């Protein structure tokens, strides 16, 4: 039977609940337990797919095509679990299901209410993680204790525990113990208040994890234990890590969080061997070379908007014993700037995915600058589309070459709406989403990088390379390097003459893992290092 951990947050948002939950999951997995993870988000959008990255950060895409919260990226990268549609539920999705059932007559005669109908739906979502293969399920509840929005989720979790046997369900509360510089003191009061708030709705945390800048002292542990009603050994300090989020699991292991969790769940503390992880982390913390990769995007001010891209570059750097510096370039400003100035110092250029017209010209300019100056280049999704447009305009001389997303009247629509999208008008969850197979062209750079011919990558797009122009583009030098297995959708392009110039319609960043960098990112970073040396 699957046991369940609920992770809640207190005091402030952005405490790193996702990273903490993922680090805990990693430790449990390393002790031989099978873990599944889930994020419960209080907002009313059905999924974050329709939200602006400035509102929400990156949309993480799963194999089965769910558009989800970026915390799922942490789950996959840190904990190594595979996420799915069951890994992210929002209030919008929960209410949507209940309301659809009401309209279909599913509750005929009844008044549909938050309790029990919404809370039952939430409990079903929580339980959807349970299976014979899963020992422990972790549900992270978004928001902060005291928010009106997250109440139904907390209420459902309370009921969930009530309906379960002893040691089946535990609550882990992540809180902040702020350091007041002027007084030179750590303060436990905000944590006391946030736990009081949870207890007011019937939840008593079993474990308190305290984010802190400086180590807690004995009397802090005692105070937190006494006022928060948590045994002292279950008050866990989570000290800020200095250099890498991949230090967090070690920090939590040092504080015995995993042992505490297993004790509370009445599970055996199987041996934990972090030796090889420690060795790997040592390499992460002590790179011997460096390079700089420019990332040209329109939400560039917000790091979280391109979370998986930065992580994937970091992973590729780790494998090459290199530190990868990021040069974030705002695509809209690049439109009015000299690219040689804006991109100065970049050993490679990456254009990530995106939507809409703003900043497109800047991205096209960056792709041109990379091609003309032989700078290693990776274009992802919209980045590949911009590279194709740039090539058509500047190499083939088709001045108005464009994507029909931006210029429906273009006489050279080198990027056009996918056939399968033509009848679709709803915006939510209707793109070409999730993992699709791709066949690489024999002898292409991409096939060499992947080391195989058949790959599977995650997608999120409506537009595609327009096959009508394939011959002209290929004849001029922009080679197709990968297609859908039926050959109809162009998935990859490359310039074989360049040191590294690759575009992909899919999102390789979602499958990069700390200890297994993605081949395309590894290729880009290695080319950047060569470029720097040269
Ligand atoms: N806007 C483009 C499309 O829909 C690219 C999408 C993306 O970069 N994720 O095809």
Mean pLDDT of 72-77: 96
Q: What are phi and psi of 180, to 5 degrees?
A: -95, 105
* pLDDT, position 55: 87
Percent of the chain with pLDDT over 70: 100
Cα 139 vs. chain centroid, distance in angstroms? 16
Q: Is the CB of 432 under 6 A from ligand 1?
A: no
Mean pLDDT of 410-432: 94
Mean pLDDT of 375-380: 98
Average pLDDT over the chain, rounded to whole? Answer: 96
Rounded to the nearest whole angstrom, what is the distance from the C-alpha of residue 520 to the centroid of ligand 1?
19
Q: Is the CB of 355 under 6 A from ligand 1?
A: yes
Catalytic residue among 117, 173, 220, 507: 507
Q: Which of 355, 358, 388, 436 to mutate to test the pocket of ligand 1 (most atoms within 8 A of CB)?
A: 355
User: 3-279 with 287-533: one CATH topology?
Assistant: yes
Q: Is the CB of 384 under 6 A from ligand 1?
A: no
Cis (ω within 30 of 0) for the bond into 116? yes
Rounded to the nearest whole angstrom, what is the distance from the C-alpha of residue 508 to the centroid of ligand 1?
14
How does strand 169-176 pair with strand 289-297?
A: unpaired
Structure-derived torsion over alpha carbons of residues 23, 26, 31, 33, reported in degrees to the nearest 10 = 120
Residue 279 confidence class, pLDDT cut points 50, 70, 90: very high
> What SS3 state is found at 161?
helix
* pLDDT, position 14: 83
Mean pLDDT of 313-340: 96
Rounded to the nearest whole angstrom, what is the distance from the C-alpha of residue 402 to the centroid of ligand 1?
13
CA distance 521 to 510: 11
Q: Which uninterrupted H or E stretch holds 260?
A: helix 257-264
Alpha helices in 349-459 (DSSP H): 360-372, 382-394, 445-450
> Is 381 an annotated catalytic residue?
yes
Query: Taking a C-beta distance cutoff of 8 angstroms, is the pair 265, 167 a contact?
Result: yes
Q: Is the CB of 41 under 6 A from ligand 1?
A: no
Q: Taking 90 as the threshold, does the pLDDT of residue 401 lie above it?
A: yes
Q: Taking 90 as the threshold, does the pLDDT of residue 11 lie above it?
A: no
> Residue of the nearest CA to atom 3 in ligand 1?
461
Query: Taking a C-beta distance cutoff of 8 angstroms, is the pair 68, 87 a contact?
Result: yes
Structure tokens at 386: 């911009």
Q: Which of 352, 381, 422, 489 to mutate to test the pocket of ligand 1 (most atoms within 8 A of CB)?
A: 381
* pLDDT, position 137: 98
Mean pLDDT of 482-509: 97
CA distance 237 to 20: 12
> Is 29 an annotated catalytic residue?
no
Rounded to the nearest whole angstrom, what is the distance from the C-alpha of residue 526 to the centroid of ligand 1?
27
> Is 507 an annotated catalytic residue?
yes
Q: Taking 90 as the threshold, does the pLDDT of residue 12 lie above it?
A: no
Query: For 12, which DSSP code?
Result: S
Query: Taking a C-beta distance cutoff of 8 angstroms, is the pair 129, 86 a contact?
Result: yes
Exposure string of 249-287, with b = 16+ CB inside 10 Å and e = fewer, is: bbbbbebbbbebbbbbbebeeeeeebeebeeebeebeee
Residue 275 confidence class, pLDDT cut points 50, 70, 90: very high
Mean pLDDT of 58-69: 97
Residue 451 confidence class, pLDDT cut points 50, 70, 90: very high
Query: Taking a C-beta distance cutoff of 8 angstroms, is the pair 261, 24 a contact?
Result: yes
CA distance 421 to 64: 18
Atom of ligand 1 nearest to the CA of 415: 10
Q: Is the CB of 354 under 6 A from ligand 1?
A: yes
Q: Is the CB of 461 under 6 A from ligand 1?
A: yes
* pLDDT, position 134: 97
> What SS3 state is found at 95?
helix
Residue 100 confidence class, pLDDT cut points 50, 70, 90: very high
* pLDDT, position 69: 94
Residue 76 confidence class, pLDDT cut points 50, 70, 90: very high
Q: What are phi and psi of 253, to 5 degrees?
A: -65, -40
Catalytic residue among 238, 311, 390, 509: 509
Residue 243 confidence class, pLDDT cut points 50, 70, 90: confident
Rounded to the nearest whole angstrom, what is the distance from the C-alpha of residue 347 to the centroid of ligand 1?
25
> Residue of the nearest CA to atom 5 in ligand 1?
382
Catalytic residue among 381, 386, 438, 504: 381
pLDDT in tens, 133-163: 999 999 999 999 989 999 999 999 999 999 9
Q: Taking 90 as the threshold, does the pLDDT of residue 257 lie above it?
A: yes
pLDDT in tens, 164-222: 999 999 999 999 999 999 999 999 999 999 999 999 999 999 999 999 999 999 999 99
Structure tokens at 419: 């056939």
The fourth-level CATH superfamily of domain 3-279 is P-loop containing nucleotide triphosphate hydrolases (3.40.50.300)
Partners of residue 492 on adjacent β-strands: 482, 504
Fold of 287-533: Rossmann fold (3.40.50)
Mean pLDDT of 97-111: 96
**Model pTM?**
0.95
Identify which of 186, 170, 140, 182 has the alpha carbon closest to the alpha carbon of residue 41.
Answer: 140
Identify which of 53, 119, 47 has the alpha carbon closest to the alpha carbon of residue 85.
Answer: 47
Q: Which of 420, 460, 505, 506 to mutate to test the pocket of ligand 1 (most atoms within 8 A of CB)?
A: 460
Q: What are phi and psi of 165, to 5 degrees?
A: -75, 175
Domain ranges of the chain: 3-279, 287-533
Mean pLDDT of 54-64: 94
Q: Is the CB of 405 under 6 A from ligand 1?
A: yes
What is the SS3 string spanning 89-129?
EEHHHHHHHHHHHHHCCCCCCCCCCHHHHHHHHHHHHHHCC
> What SS3 state is found at 5?
strand
């Amino acid at each position: 039977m699957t046991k369940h951990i609920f992770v809640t947050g207190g005091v402030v948002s952005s405490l790193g609940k996702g990273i903490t939950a993922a680090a805990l999951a990693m430790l449990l997995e390393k002790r031989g337990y099978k873990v599944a993870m889930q994020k419960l988000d209080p907002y009313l959008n059905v999924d974050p797919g329709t939200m602006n990255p400035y509102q929400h950060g990156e949309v993480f895409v799963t194999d089965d095509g769910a558009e989800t919260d970026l915390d799922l990226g942490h789950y996959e990268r840190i904990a190594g679990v595979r996420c799915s549609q069951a890994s992210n539920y929002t209030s919008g999705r929960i209410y949507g299901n209940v309301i659809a059932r009401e309209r279909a007559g599913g509750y005929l005669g009844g008044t549909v209410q938050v309790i029990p109908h919404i809370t039952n739906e939430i409990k079903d979502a929580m339980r959807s993680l349970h299976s014979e293969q899963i020992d422990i399920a972790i549900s992270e509840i978004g928001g902060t204790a005291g928010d009106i929005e997250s109440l139904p989720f907390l209420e459902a979790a309370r009921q969930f525990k009530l309906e379960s046997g002893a040691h089946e369900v535990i609550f882990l509360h992540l809180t902040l113990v702020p350091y007041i510089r002027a007084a030179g003191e750590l303060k436990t009061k905000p944590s006391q208040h946030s736990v009081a708030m949870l207890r007011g709705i019937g939840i008593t945390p079993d474990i308190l994890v305290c984010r802190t800048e400086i180590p807690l002292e004995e009397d802090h542990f005692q105070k937190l234990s006494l006022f928060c009603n948590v045994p002292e050994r279950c008050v866990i300090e989570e000290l800020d890590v200095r250099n890498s989020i991949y230090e967090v699991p070690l920090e939590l292991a040092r504080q015995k969080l995993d042992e505490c969790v297993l004790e509370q769940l009445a599970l055996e503390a199987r041996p934990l061997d972090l030796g090889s992880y420690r060795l790997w982390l040592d390499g992460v913390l002590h790179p011997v070379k460096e390079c700089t990769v420019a990332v040209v995007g329109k939400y560039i001010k917000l790091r979280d908007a391109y979370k998986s891209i930065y992580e994937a570059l970091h992973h590729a750097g780790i494998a090459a014993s290199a530190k990868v510096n990021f040069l974030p370039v705002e695509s809209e400003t690049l439109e009015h700037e000299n690219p040689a100035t804006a991109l100065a110092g970049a050993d490679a250029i990456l254009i990530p995915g995106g939507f809409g017209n703003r900043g497109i010209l800047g991205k096209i300019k960056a792709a041109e600058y990379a091609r003309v100056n032989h700078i290693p280049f990776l274009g992802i999704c919209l980045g590949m589309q911009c590279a194709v447009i740039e090539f058509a305009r500047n190499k083939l001389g088709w001045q108005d070459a464009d994507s029909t997303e931006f210029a429906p009247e273009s006489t050279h629509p080198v990027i056009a709406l996918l056939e399968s999208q033509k009848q679709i008008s709803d915006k939510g969850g209707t793109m070409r989403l999730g993992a699709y197979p791709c066949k690489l062209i024999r002898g292409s750079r991409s096939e060499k990088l992947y080391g195989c011919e058949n790959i599977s990558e995650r997608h999120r797009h409506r537009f595609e390379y327009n096959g009508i122009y394939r011959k002209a583009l290929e004849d001029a030098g922009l080679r197709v390097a990968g297609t859908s297995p039926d050959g109809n959708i162009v998935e990859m392009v490359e310039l074989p003459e360049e040191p590294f110039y690759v575009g992909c319609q899919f999102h390789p960043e979602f499958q990069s893992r700390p200890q297994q960098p993605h081949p395309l990112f590894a290729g880009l970073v290695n080319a950047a290092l060569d470029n720097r040396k040269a």
